[in-house]
Structure 1
């Protein structure tokens, strides 16, 4: 069983999602199944089959999230410091071709969301950044070709 690295924030988000699925979604689905059963013949009851399918997907999601929480390796970013890029670091980069600034926080796979500036520790850019320091230039292989970034800031917040 591999440990799943995540921030305390990511752990709390998973706990909240499990709570929502168990306290809101489960009862709603159970009610939908009960209502569909009242319509009679279950073999041709689309509402019943849809509710049962949704119940299966919800239970699978709960099991998956609980598995990830049980294997969680929560890393307290507030205790990290320095100028070396590692898990939990927020890194400011400058694209050497376009001079555009980007900012990424390196998080666990489960928490990754590029729109929020959070990239997975397993992503190509995060792998290229790991163990580098402010001022270093990194080459990242992307589907569109290679990109060069200069690390201008490493912070833990």
Structure 2
């Protein structure tokens, strides 16, 4: 059995200013804070002699590989991202960065912000623009019906509010 995995489809290259700041903070934390600490731990563990049975050395080296891999990814990704820091000309339709309030068939409301794939967080109400729900909303206007296909069947929502400023969130 091989370890081959087909390449993943690349996500959209758009990101909000807050998302870019979070990625840059993660990069700083990994490169300037965590990596030097782990490197020092590995250095001290290597002085102890037999490295084959030294847990600090083995797990420290593994953590260094994880950090280096994530740092490489973040550096490449930050180079290709486009920061969207202004509202679109037509604020009556749903585009990247919009806060959208949806109402389902039962009258229950939910609010989502459409963000880039690097910053989505469902618990915080941030929906990736590459997700089926966000793709169904993009380009729609106020009071439009949005149909989302899910494994449990089709769901219908109505757009009740579109905002491009974070007030009242």
TM-score normalised over the length of structure 1? 0.93
Q: CA RMSD in A?
A: 1.6
Out of 123, 127, 141, the residue aligned to residue 135 of structure 2 is: 127
Q: Give me the whole-angstrom Cα distance separating, in 2, the residues matched to 1:123 and 1:11.
A: 20
Q: 2:82 aligns with which of 64, 70, 73?
A: 73
CA contact (8 A) 1:80 1:156 kept: no
Matched residue, 1:99: 107
Partners in 1 of 2:103 and 2:11 — Cα distance?
A: 34
Structure 2: tracts of 5 or more residues without a match? 1-9
Segments ≥4 residues shifted beyond 3 Å: 77-81
Segments of 5+ residues of structure 1 without an aligned counterpart are: none
Contact 1:81 1:156 in 2 (8 A): no
- State the partner residue of 2:159: 151
Higher strand share: 1
Corresponding pairs, count: 156
Structure ranking higher in helix proportion: 1
**Deviation of 1:80 (Å):** 5.5
Conserved 8 A contact 1:95-1:149: yes
Query: 1:117 matched to which residue of 2?
Result: 125
The residue aligned with 1:138 is 146
